Amino acid sequence: MTLHLVLTSQTTALKQLERMLAPADSLVFIGDGVYALQLLTSNNWSHQNRCYFRTTDARQRGLADSLQDNIGAIAIDDKQWVELCLSHSRTLSWKP
C-alpha cells in the first residue's frame, strides 16, 4: 500500500503514475500538484484510488473552492497528511 505524493501537474508524470497505481494505493496532491486535479478532471481520468489534497496548497493557489467537488478528492490539513504518511507502508513522490 503506497501513498503517492503528487507534486507536479506534468502530463507525462501523471500518465506514468496512472500506470503504476495499485488498487490499495492513495494519492495526495500537494504543492503545484493541486493543479493536476483540474487536469485529471478535464481529461476524464478514471481511477478507484483514494485522493486527497492539502487545503493549504489549494488555498495558496486560489483553487480551494474549485477543488472541493473534484473527482472525489478529500481536503486535508497538515496533521491529516502526516497521518496518511504513517498509515501507508511506503511513500513515492512524483516531482517535476
Residues 14-38: tens digit of each pLDDT: 889 888 899 899 999 999 999 988 7
pLDDT score of 56: 93
What pLDDT score was predicted for residue 73? 83
What distances in angstroms separate CA 70 from CA 36, 82, 96, one per listed residue? 11, 22, 22
- Domain 2-94, CATH among 3.40.1260.10, 3.10.20.30, 3.30.70.600, 3.30.390.50: 3.40.1260.10
Q: What is the pLDDT of residues 25-73, one digit of tens each?
A: 999 999 999 998 877 765 556 667 888 999 999 999 988 777 766 557 8
Using DSSP, state whether 11 is helix, strand or coil: helix
Q: Would you state the pLDDT for residue 70? A: 59
Cell matching residue 59: 488555498
| DSSP 8-state secondary structure symbol assigned to residue 33 | G
| Under 8 Å between Cβ of 58 and 36 | no
